[in-house]
Amino acid sequence: MHGPALSGWLLVALCAASGAYCLLRMRAGGAAERGAAGSEAVMGFGMAAMALPAAVLTPPEWSWVLYAGVFGLAALHGLVAAVRHGGHHLHHLVGSLAMVYMALAMAAAPAGAGGHAGHGGAAGASGGIPVLTGVLLAYYGVYVLRSGARLVPVAAATGAARIRTGTTGTAAGELTLVCRLSMGLAMLAMLLAL
């Protein structure tokens, strides 16, 4: 990002914590839930790696191609899962394709124009295709608002507060939604810095 390295470190911590929680989620649930948690863990750790401040690690130029390849494979996995199961797997597909897009944009960026999705370079330096970046920003903006709204307590018929999560309503289900919301916010930040 254009600001101090602190914002980059906060993004790294947020994404790494989300990835670690997703790894823990892989221990429970059915095969589909474990697969979704695994996809989200890959996304979280990949985003954390892309957000590392350039002052700490300036990645070699070939690393962006490696990121694009890894997330290209994740996109293929997401496509197969979306065709078989639909639902949240479509979001995984969009997320993987967004990561491929950001990696390719960073690979194509001039040496002084950024080098890291988490910290764009000179003011006005931009990577990627503005229309595609705008579409992804709109998608993630809606996703974040929708996910955040699902965490807002609503009055139940009895007057008691409950959380509308779309999951089991358990603390683990709520934490999963918070994890997804955090990664959506991180994706917004990375796209804005592109």
pLDDT at 2: 42
Q: Is the pLDDT of residue 166 over 60?
A: no
Average pLDDT over residues 121-137: 72
Q: Is the pLDDT of residue 117 over 50?
A: no
Given pLDDT bands bounded at 50, 70 and 90, which one contains residue 1? very low
Lowest-confidence segment of 97-101, 117-121, 140-144, 176-180 by average pLDDT = 117-121
Q: How many angstroms separate the CA atoms of 126 and 38, rounded? A: 31
pLDDT at 14: 94
